[in-house]
Amino acid sequence: MRLTEFAELTEAEFGRKRADGLLTDLVLMELGGRTGREAIEQGVDPKLVWRALCREFDVPPERW
């Protein structure tokens, strides 16, 4: 997944401001105790970050 697609998905699902906050502030144990932003900066595929966010907020799998 490209970063532009990831940004579009997170913004559409959570809204721009909330998506930015979630990526910066929310620590996801599924990502090794990192925030989404930290994980992406450390080379984690944005698709894995997207899926972790979806599971955290019970976004239906068909929207992944």
Q: Specify the number of domains making up the chain.
A: 1
Instruction: Name the amino acid, one letter, at 21.
Output: G
pLDDT tens digit string along 9-18?
999 999 999 9
Share of the chain above pLDDT 70, in %: 98
pLDDT tens digit string along 21-41?
999 999 999 999 999 999 999
Q: Are 2 and 46 in contact (CB under 8 A)?
A: yes
- Residue 61: pLDDT band (50, 70, 90) is confident
Q: Considering the domain boundaries, does residue 64 fall inside one?
A: no
| Residue 36 structural domain | 3-57
- Confidence at residue 1, expressed as pLDDT on a 0 to 100 scale: 86
Measure CA 43 to chain center. 13
Q: Considering the domain boundaries, does residue 63 fall inside one?
A: no
Q: Considering the domain boundaries, does residue 7 fall inside one?
A: yes
Q: Considering the domain boundaries, does residue 35 fall inside one?
A: yes
Q: What is the model's pTM? A: 0.88
Q: Considering the domain boundaries, does residue 48 fall inside one?
A: yes
